[in-house]
Amino acid sequence: MVPSGGVVARIIDEVYELCRADTSGTLADYIPELAAVQPDSFGICLATADGRVYGSGDLDTAFTIQSISKPFTYALALADRGLAEVARRIDVEPSGEPFFEISLDPKTQRPRNPMINAGAIAAASLVKGRDAADRFDRIRQSYSRFAGRDLRLNEAVYASEARTGYRNRAIGYLLRGAGIIDIDPDEAVDRYFRQCSIDVTCRDLAVMAATLANNGVNPLTRERALSRPLVEQVLSVMTTCGMYDAAGDWVTTVGLPAKSGVGGGILAVLPGQIGIAVYSPRLDAHGSSARGVKGCRELSHRLGLHFLHVTRAAHTAIRTSYSVTEAPSRLRRDPEELAVLREFGEHARIFELHGDLLFAGAETTVRAVEDTPGELEALVLDLREVGDVSPIAIRMLDDLQRELAATGARVALVDPEAKLGHLTSSLDPADPRGRVFADRDSATEWCEQLILERHQPAGYDAPVALTIDRHPALADMPEDERDRLAKEFETRTVARGECIVVRDSPRCGLFLVLDGRVRLTFTDASGRRHRLVTLTPGMSFGETSMLAGVPYANDVYAETTVRLAVLPVNRFDQLTSDAPLIKLALLERLAAAAYTQADAAIRAVAAHGNI
């Protein structure tokens, strides 16, 4: 079986272990209940925009959301009042001051942004509702939509904040005196205390961040929590103001819209891709989790998450995927081999990738491989349509190859430009670097051969050289007819790489393959030659040209040294008068075989879509 979640989970585990030793910082002792939490609690969680959650440590330990509530209440105020009305009361400029500063902009008399306490209290005052209780419940329900579960108030922390929150009350009265809020300041401040006292977990925050990353739609519940334009507004303000007076350092070193809280949480968002949450209650001098800042910085560096790293495509790397049963190679096989491939072909899969391959694209690829149902014995990654490949993507795909190798699965790359850095093709089954092919068809044939080697029944003999009378075109005829027809054929040996028939040649005989492999090719618009089909002993070619009198549509080459039985044009025509029944029997067998070969070739081309 394929290991589950291993590659991404291991990277998060590494960052967790790296940061766990950091015990710097202090608890938020100005709120008594926050000073009583377990100081060494620590969790890191990552949620993708399509709903996969990874994490290490204390993912389900409850703590209060504190200032991480600010962007979500700001979002609700925007939804209730509109951008213009909120902007009239709350600015969006970085303050460069601590979050609890008792000040307003000296020119506009507005709070400088909604991520400091003054702006957050103003935002809380703008939430609509029937009464104070209903207005707070609308805030709680909004947070719950982002988290994907029902969140609750921590009464003890709320009481502690309400008992000691004199500084915030001063801010509330300052706002009322400046005309920024037009309700009782005590009600506004009390609502702010309550929103900060809602319990969340590290897992909740990661999903809330992923909801913002997913344009406001919760990736687990599929419920819309916020409209797309308002998500852009909230993330913009988080980018410049979310980390208080450390916002500049954060943007340059981490490069993600984020918000921290004195409860020990940090929430960060990579739009369109992932949400990150870290919980560790020891705070740095800026009021943010010391481990949280370090963990986010390390994840951004390792996973290449900085939002100013511009790419052509960031998220969906998988163009298509299929098994060798669904899209066989162009090597035609005998019935016994086909039976094995029909039964076990789902164990070998090809993934075609495209676009720029960064963390999110690599993560979806790794996850898709790890989530492959059933047993995976062979994997092909086709990287020819991939553009830039980030170091983290290379590491993740290399780790995936090693994990699969440990389970006995084999991995091959279609990577002629060595985008993953594999400059050589390893023939050693124990080497996790695997094989490297120039085209997908060769890699698919390799998959098929591996499946056949592992699952062919005991006593099975691979196709061997045939005599003319044992070729399927003649084998089932009555002995006297078979012997007579065999004498009409000439035997010819062709060296590997030699052209047997040139495209547009006139009818030049009926060819039966007795030994070796014959390749029918076609040339694309750029002049490159590609395999249409490979024929093996027991197969034939030339029937259409002989019967319809049309030129050959393809070049025919000897893929290996080949031994052929050839029925010349004059002898083929002469059979019409000399032995019409024998010729009819021959044509019936050839028609059935030709149809099977053509059908298989068409299915292969259609399934692949391109070369």
Rounded to whole angstroms, the Cα distance separating 159 from 144 reads 22
Exposed/middle/buried for residue 401 (C-beta within 10 Å: 0-12, 13-18, 19+): buried
Q: Is 70 a catalytic residue?
A: yes
CA distances from 427 to 34, 119, 126, 345, 410 (A): 59, 64, 67, 22, 11
Beta strand 490-494 with 540-541: parallel, antiparallel or unpaired? unpaired
Exposed/middle/buried for residue 299 (C-beta within 10 Å: 0-12, 13-18, 19+): buried
The active-site residue, picked from 262, 366, 389, 414, is 262
3-class state of residue 258 by DSSP: strand
Helix and strand element counts for the chain (H, E): 21, 20
Residue 189 near residue 168 (C-beta atoms within 8 A):
yes
Rounded to whole angstroms, the Cα distance separating 350 from 360 reads 20
Q: Is 323 a catalytic residue?
A: no
Q: Is 128 a catalytic residue?
A: no
N residues, the chain: 611
3-class state of residue 314 by DSSP: coil
The active-site residue, picked from 54, 158, 192, 557, is 192
Residue 510 near residue 571 (C-beta atoms within 8 A):
no
Which H or E element spans position 249? Answer: helix 247-253
Give me the DSSP letters along 114-149. Answer: TTSHHHHHHHHHT---SSHHHHHHHHHHHHHHHHTS
Q: What is the DSSP letter of 478?
A: -
3-class state of residue 351 by DSSP: strand
267: which strand partners?
Answer: 259, 277
Residue 180 near residue 188 (C-beta atoms within 8 A):
no
The active-site residue, picked from 56, 67, 142, 160, is 67
Rounded to whole angstroms, the Cα distance separating 510 from 546 reads 7
Helix extents (H) in 466-542: 472-475, 479-486
Beta strand 518-523 with 529-535: parallel, antiparallel or unpaired? antiparallel
Find the helix packing angle between 290-303 and 6-20, rounded to 10°: 140
Rounded to whole angstroms, the Cα distance separating 163 from 166 reads 8
Q: How far, rounded to the nearest angstrom, does the alpha carbon of residue 144 sit from its chain's CA centroid? A: 28
From the list 129, 144, 132, the residue with the least C-alpha distance to 72 is 144
Rounded to whole angstroms, the Cα distance separating 210 from 233 reads 16
From the list 607, 601, 611, the residue with the least C-alpha distance to 385 is 611
Q: Is 244 a catalytic residue?
A: yes
Q: Is 173 a catalytic residue?
A: no
The active-site residue, picked from 56, 70, 143, 237, is 70
Give me the DSSP letters along 261-315. Answer: -TTSEEEEEETTTEEEEEE---B-TTSSBHHHHHHHHHHHHHHT--TT---S--S
The active-site residue, picked from 74, 158, 244, 557, is 244
Tokens encoding 178: 């400046």
Rounded to whole angstroms, the Cα distance separating 566 from 29 reads 94
Catalytic residues: 67, 70, 192, 244, 262
